[in-house]
């Protein structure tokens, strides 16, 4: 239930965790972009 919990105003704001989440999001986007690019190369460009 970690993803569906309500925002707790008493929880301290931690900059390191925000940076970590941003880096993880960038990594996931780049990974999915790479997979999509490979699929485009294989099925559309057929090189």
**Which string of DSSP letters, residue by residue, matches the chain?**
--TTPPP-TTSPP-HHHHHHHHHHHHHHHHHHHHHHHHHHIIIII--
Flag whether 42 is in a domain: yes
Output the pLDDT for position 46. Answer: 79
Taking only the tens place, the pLDDT of each residue in 3-47 is: 777 777 787 788 898 899 999 999 999 999 999 999 999 999 875
Flag whether 7 is in a domain: no
**Residue 46 falls in which region: left (phi positive, over 0), alpha (psi -120 to 50) or beta:** left
Flag whether 21 is in a domain: yes
Flag whether 28 is in a domain: yes
What is the number of domains present in the chain? 1
Whether residue 1 is predicted with pLDDT greater than 80 in this model: the reply is: no
pTM: 0.66
Taking only the tens place, the pLDDT of each residue in 3-12 is: 777 777 787 7
Could you list the residue range(s) of the whole structural domain that residue 20 is in?
16-47
Q: Can you give the C-alpha Rg of the chain in angstroms?
A: 18
Flag whether 41 is in a domain: yes
């Amino acid at each position: 239930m970690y993803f569906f919990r309500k925002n707790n105003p008493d929880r301290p704001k931690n900059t390191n965790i925000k940076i970590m989440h941003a880096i993880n999001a960038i990594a996931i986007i780049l990974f999915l972009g790479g997979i999509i690019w490979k699929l485009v190369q294989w099925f559309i460009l057929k090189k």
